[in-house]
Amino acid sequence: MATIDIARRVYDHSWKLDPIVRSLLDTDFYKLLMLQMIWGLYRDVRADFTLINRSHSVRIADEIDERELREQLDHARSLRFAKKEMIWLAGNSFYGRHQIFAPDFLAWLVDFQLPEYDLRREDGQFVLNFSGPWTHTTMWEIPALAIVNELRSRAAMKGMGRFDLDVLYARAKAKLWEKVERLRKLPELRISDFGTRRRHSFLWQRWCVEALKEGLGEALLGTSNVLLAMDTDLEAIGTNAHELPMVLAALADTDEERLTAPYRVLEAWERYYGGNLLVVLPDAFGTTSFLKRAPDWVADWTGFRPDSKPPIEGGEEIYTWWRLRGRDPREKLLVFSDALDVEAIESTYHYFQGRVRMSFGWGTNLTNDFEGCAPGPRDGLKAASLVCKVSSANGRPAVKLSDNPQKATGEEAEIARYERLFEFEEPSRAKVA
- List residues binding a second copy (CB under 8 A): 3, 5, 7-8, 11, 161, 163-164, 166-167, 169-171, 173-175, 177, 210-211, 214-215, 375
Residue number with CB closer to a second copy (163 or 433): 163
> Nearest 5 degrees, angle CA 16-CA 20-CA 24?
120
> CA 398, 428, 334, 302 torsion: positive or negative?
negative
Tell me how far, at minimum, the Cβ of 384 lies from a second copy, in Å.
25
Tell me how far, at minimum, the Cβ of 6 lies from a second copy, in Å.
9
Strand, helix or coil at 69?
Answer: helix
Tell me how far, at minimum, the Cβ of 64 lies from a second copy, in Å.
24
Residue type, 33: L
What percentage of the chain's residues is helix, strand, coil (to nearest 5)? 50, 15, 35
Residue number with CB closer to a second copy (187 or 376): 376
Tell me how far, at minimum, the Cβ of 211 lies from a second copy, in Å.
7
Tell me how far, at minimum, the Cβ of 29 lies from a second copy, in Å.
24
Residue number with CB closer to a second copy (342 or 401): 342
Q: CA separation (Å) from 200 to 169, 197, 263, 325?
A: 11, 9, 36, 42
Q: Are 280 and 241 in contact (CB under 8 A)?
A: no
Tell me how far, at minimum, the Cβ of 156 lies from a second copy, in Å.
18
Count other Cβ atoms within 10 Å, centred on residue 176: 20
Residue number with CB closer to a second copy (373 or 387): 373
Strands 333-336, 191-193: pairing is unpaired
Residue number with CB closer to a second copy (193 or 403): 193
Please, what's the b/e burial string for 208-221 (b: 16 or more CB within 10 A of its CB; e: otherwise)? bbebbbebbeebbb
Residue number with CB closer to a second copy (175 or 378): 175
Q: CA separation (Å) from 401 to 26, 318, 378, 395?
A: 28, 18, 33, 19
Residue number with CB closer to a second copy (77 or 171): 171
Please, what's the b/e burial string for 93-113 (b: 16 or more CB within 10 A of its CB; e: otherwise)? ebbeeeebbeeebbeebeebe
Tell me how far, at minimum, the Cβ of 170 lies from a second copy, in Å.
3
Cα first-last separation, the chain: 57
Residue number with CB closer to a second copy (112 or 169): 169
Residues 6 or more apart in contact with residue 161 via CB below 8 angstroms: none
Q: CA separation (Å) from 118 to 31, 339, 415?
A: 21, 30, 25
Count other Cβ atoms within 10 Å, centred on residue 18: 12
Number of helical (H) and strand (E) elements in the chain, helices listed first: 19, 12
Tell me how far, at minimum, the Cβ of 427 lies from a second copy, in Å.
39
Tell me how far, at minimum, the Cβ of 194 lies from a second copy, in Å.
21
Tell me how far, at minimum, the Cβ of 275 lies from a second copy, in Å.
32
Closest CA to 142 of 130, 158, 127, 156: 130
Strands 386-393, 47-53: pairing is antiparallel
Residue number with CB closer to a second copy (175 or 357): 175
Residue number with CB closer to a second copy (189 or 334): 189
- The Cα–Cα gap between 23 and 231 comes to 12
